[in-house]
C-alpha cells in the first residue's frame, strides 16, 4: 500500500468511527438523555376534573386542541392575582379574533370562599376568555400538587385570612403538556406573539 492509500484509509476509518460515535451518542441521548426531559415536562400538569364559574364540570380533555395558560390564585388576593388577570386580559385583547384559540385557567386555592358564583362575579371584571376553576378542597389540592403549586392559608389579625400561593403562569401546549413558565412581564403584543407559536 502506498502512503497515500494508507492515509486515505486512515481518514476514512476515522470518519466511520466518527459516524459510529455520533450514532451511539444519538442513541444515548434518545434512550437515556432524552427521557428525563420528557419526564420533567410530564411531571407538571395532567388530568383533572373540576368545576368552572358556571358550575359546569371542566376537565383536561375540554382543553385539548389549543394551548392554555394555567395559574393559581384566589379572588381575595390583594395584588398578584388581579395584576396577572389584567395582564392576561390584555394579551387576549391583542390576540383579537384568535383569542378563541387559547384558554386561560384561573384555579382557586381558596375553595372556602371561591364558590363558582364568587369566581364568576370576580372574573366579570376581566376578559371573558378567562375560565374560573374551583372544586372541593381535595380536588384542588391534587391539581395544585400536579402543577407543583404551593399554597397555604395564613390567618390575619382580624380573624380573616389570606392565602400564600405560587404565582407562576404555566404555558401548556395543545396536547396539555407543560411547555414553560409563561412571562407576563413583557408587552402584551410580545406575549400574544409567543402564544401564537403554539396554536
Site stretch for Ni ion (CB under 5 A), options 66-74, 122-130, 134-142, 150-158 = 66-74
Which of 44, 50, 63, 77 contacts Ni ion by CB under 5 A?
Answer: 77
Nearer to Ni ion, 169 or 179 (CB): 169
Q: Which is nearer to Ni ion, 77 or 184 (CB)?
A: 77
| 71 versus 176: smaller Cβ distance to Ni ion | 71
What number of helices (H) and strands (E) belong to the chain?
6, 9
Single residue of 37, 40, 80, 137 touching Ni ion by CB under 5 A:
80
Cα 29 to Cα 26, 33, 41, 99: the distances in Å are: 5, 4, 17, 38
SS3 content of the chain, % helix, strand, coil (to 5): 45, 20, 35
Give the C-alpha separation, 45 to 72, whole Å: 12
Task: Give 48 or 71: the residue with its C-beta nearer to Ni ion.
Answer: 71
Q: Does 40 bind Ni ion (CB under 5 A)?
A: no
| Site membership for Ni ion, residue 81 (CB under 5 A) | yes
| Residues near Ni ion (CB under 5 A), total | 4
User: In the chain, where do the E strands start and end?
Assistant: 49-52, 57-59, 68-73, 103-108, 130-134, 151-155, 161-165, 170-172, 178-181
CB of 77 or CB of 143, closer to Ni ion: 77
Find the shortest distance in angstroms from Cβ 121 to Ni ion: 17
Nearest approach, Cβ of residue 109 and Ni ion (Å): 8
Q: Looking at beta carbons, which residue is closest to Ni ion?
A: 77
73 in contact with Ni ion (CB under 5 A): yes
Q: Residues near 184 by Cβ (< 8 Å), separated by ≥ 6? A: 84, 87, 88, 91, 169, 191
45 phi-psi bin (left φ>0, alpha ψ -120 to 50, beta other): left
- Least distance (Å) from Ni ion to the CB of residue 80? 4
- Chain residues binding Ni ion by CB under 5 A are 73, 77, 80-81
Amino acid at each position: 500500500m502506498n502512503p497515500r492509500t494508507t492515509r486515505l484509509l486512515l481518514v476514512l476509518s476515522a470518519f466511520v468511527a466518527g459516524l459510529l460515535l455520533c450514532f451511539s451518542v444519538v442513541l444515548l441521548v434518545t434512550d437515556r438523555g432524552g427521557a428525563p426531559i420528557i419526564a420533567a415536562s410530564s411531571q407538571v400538569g395532567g388530568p383533572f376534573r373540576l368545576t368552572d364559574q358556571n358550575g359546569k364540570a371542566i376537565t383536561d380533555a375540554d382543553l385539548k386542541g389549543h394551548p392554555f395558560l394555567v395559574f393559581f390564585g384566589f379572588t381575595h388576593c390583594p395584588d398578584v392575582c388581579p395584576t396577572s388577570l389584567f395582564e392576561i386580559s390584555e394579551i387576549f385583547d391583542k390576540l383579537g379574533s384568535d383569542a378563541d384559540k387559547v384558554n386561560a385557567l384561573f384555579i382557586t386555592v381558596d375553595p372556602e370562599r371561591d364558590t363558582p358564583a364568587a369566581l364568576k362575579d370576580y372574573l366579570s371584571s376581566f376578559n371573558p376568555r378567562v375560565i374560573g376553576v374551583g372544586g372541593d378542597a381535595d380536588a384542588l389540592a391534587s391539581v395544585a400538587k400536579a402543577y407543583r403549586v404551593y399554597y397555604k392559608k395564613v390567618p390575619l389579625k382580624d380573624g380573616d385570612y389570606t392565602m400564600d400561593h405560587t404565582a407562576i403562569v404555566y404555558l401548556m401546549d395543545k396536547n396539555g403538556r407543560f411547555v414553560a413558565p409563561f412571562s407576563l412581564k413583557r408587552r402584551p403584543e410580545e406575549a400574544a406573539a409567543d402564544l401564537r407559536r403554539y396554536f
